[in-house]
Amino acid sequence: KAGVTQTPRYLIKTRGQQVTLSCSPISGHRSVSWYQQTPGQGLQFLFEYFSETQRNKGNFPGRFSGRQFSNSRSEMNVSTLELGDSALYLCASSASPGAGNQPQHFGDGTRLSIL
């Protein structure tokens, strides 16, 4: 079974631009969560989607948004990029909400660098 696939793996943007990252969950998984990983702040929850609906949102500005499609694939978008947005963006999928019964599996992330 293929794991969580995130594309692209690496991305370089400049300040003020916008970016879209993609996540394909494990086949059959319907819940997708996004996390930002930086050396300073560690792993921080961005948002969670299930059945095309956002179920939960972390403490990030409105420049960070996401969506989920009917095939469970998810995208996150960051507008008006800032230097501080440089990070590894991780996507995790699970069969359904409820991490206790349905473990979350992470992809290898998209490394976003802002120049």
Amino acid, res. 82: E
Cβ at position 12, least distance to another protein in Å: 17
* One character per residue 14-53, x = contact with another protein (rule: CB under 8 A): -----------------x-x-x------xxxx--x-----
Query: 24: Cβ–Cβ under 8 A, 6 or more apart, which residues?
Result: 4, 5, 6, 7, 73
Phi and psi torsions of 84, nearest 5°? -70, -5
Contact indicator for 113, 14 with CB cutoff of 8 Å: no
Contact indicator for 43, 91 with CB cutoff of 8 Å: no
Total number of residues that touch another protein (CB under 8 A): 27
Among 27, 56, 71, 77, binds another protein (CB under 8 A): 56
Among 28, 98, 113, 115, binds another protein (CB under 8 A): 98
Give the residues lining the site for another protein (CB under 8 A): 4, 31, 33, 35, 42-45, 48, 55-56, 58, 90, 92, 94, 97-101, 103-109
